[in-house]
């Protein structure tokens, strides 16, 4: 069974948005392994879409740009704590965008997902926005409908193959802590901070294709 068909089946089996743990908890893949990561980070141009940048802007920033919508709480143990989503004002346009806040991120957006209504069965819960329309793209030009070859020409060899229809590029990066940061963290973690004086973060993009065309992608960047 393909990834996308499995998602549709699982979501349709789940009941509504009541009770905390909902359809939101199962609509995207949970394939994750530190072994799939390589040193570095996703190109910054791909972390911004429609003026919202992951690991920089908040849900409130997105709400101001896209309009009011419900903020959904995600069940504990998932890779996100909160989510909001938007669809096009044009009923014939199936474009959907989702913004997520990861655990412990304090409302800073950790990822966004772009897909269409065929692969997000609960779109009736998403608000309509004039900013969401066919062809929306990251600042680096990633948009639904591009071919797999074109996608891979941009990112290179995937760090993970997700059978049968997906690929992923996962990175882990680090930034050296400042002297003040080391001194502050040393009060909490002790001298071991000086042994590894770096701030680590993970980033990447995961994509799924149908008939060689991009139909779903997620960009993320968050603390490791």
pLDDT digits (tens, 9 = 90+) for 64-102: 999 999 888 775 555 567 889 999 999 999 999 999 997
Residue of higher predicted confidence among 35 and 123: 123
Handedness of CA 162, 136, 130, 99 (dihedral sign): positive
Residue of higher predicted confidence among 31 and 164: 164
- The pTM for the full model equals 0.78
Region 103-131 average pLDDT: 86
d(CA 83, CA 102): 9
CA distances from 14 to 3, 5, 52, 124, 218 (A): 17, 15, 30, 15, 22
Tokens 């973690």 correspond to: 189
Residue 188 has a pLDDT of 82
Tokens 């990633």 correspond to: 142
d(CA 72, CA 85): 9
d(CA 25, CA 35): 24
Q: Where are the domains of the chain?
A: 3-223
The b/e string for 160-188 (b: 16+ C-beta within 10 A; e otherwise) is bebeebbbbbbbbbeeebeeeeeeebeee
Task: Yes or no: say if 161 and 116 are a contact pair by the CB < 8 Å rule.
Answer: no
Q: Which of 24-28, 41-45, 118-122 has the lowest average pLDDT?
A: 24-28
50-64, pLDDT tens digit by residue?
999 999 999 999 999
Instruction: Determine how many CB atoms are found less than 10 A away from the CB of residue 218.
Output: 19
Please count the CA atoms within 13 angstroms of the CA of 17 that sit on its side-chain side: 16
Residue 195 has a pLDDT of 81
d(CA 112, CA 139): 13
Residue 13: phi and psi, rounded to 5, are -80, -15
Residue 37 has a pLDDT of 57
d(CA 224, CA 58): 18
């Amino acid at each position: 069974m393909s990834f996308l068909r499995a998602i549709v089946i699982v979501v349709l089996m789940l009941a509504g948005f009541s009770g905390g743990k909902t359809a939101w908890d199962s609509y995207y893949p949970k394939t994750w392994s530190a072994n799939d990561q390589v040193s570095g980070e996703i190109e910054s141009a791909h972390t911004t879409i429609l003026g919202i940048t992951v690991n920089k802007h908040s849900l409130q920033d997105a709400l101001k740009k896209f309009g009011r919508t419900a903020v959904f709480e995600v069940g504990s143990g998932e890779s996100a704590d909160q989510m909001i989503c938007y669809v096009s004002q044009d009923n014939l346009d199936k474009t959907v965008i989702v913004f997520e806040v990861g655990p412990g991120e304090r409302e800073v957006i950790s990822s966004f997902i772009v897909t269409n209504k065929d692969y997000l069965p609960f779109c009736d819960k998403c608000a309509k926005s004039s900013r969401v329309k066919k062809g929306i793209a990251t600042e680096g030009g990633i948009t639904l409908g591009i071919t797999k070859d074109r996608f891979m020409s941009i990112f290179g060899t995937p760090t993970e193959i997700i059978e049968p229809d997906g690929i992923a590029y996962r990175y882990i990066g680090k930034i050296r802590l400042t002297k003040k940061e080391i001194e502050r963290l040393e009060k909490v973690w002790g001298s071991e901070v000086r042994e590894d004086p770096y701030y680590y973060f993970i980033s990447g993009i995961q994509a799924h294709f149908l008939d060689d065309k991009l139909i779903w992608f997620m960009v993320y960047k968050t603390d490791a």
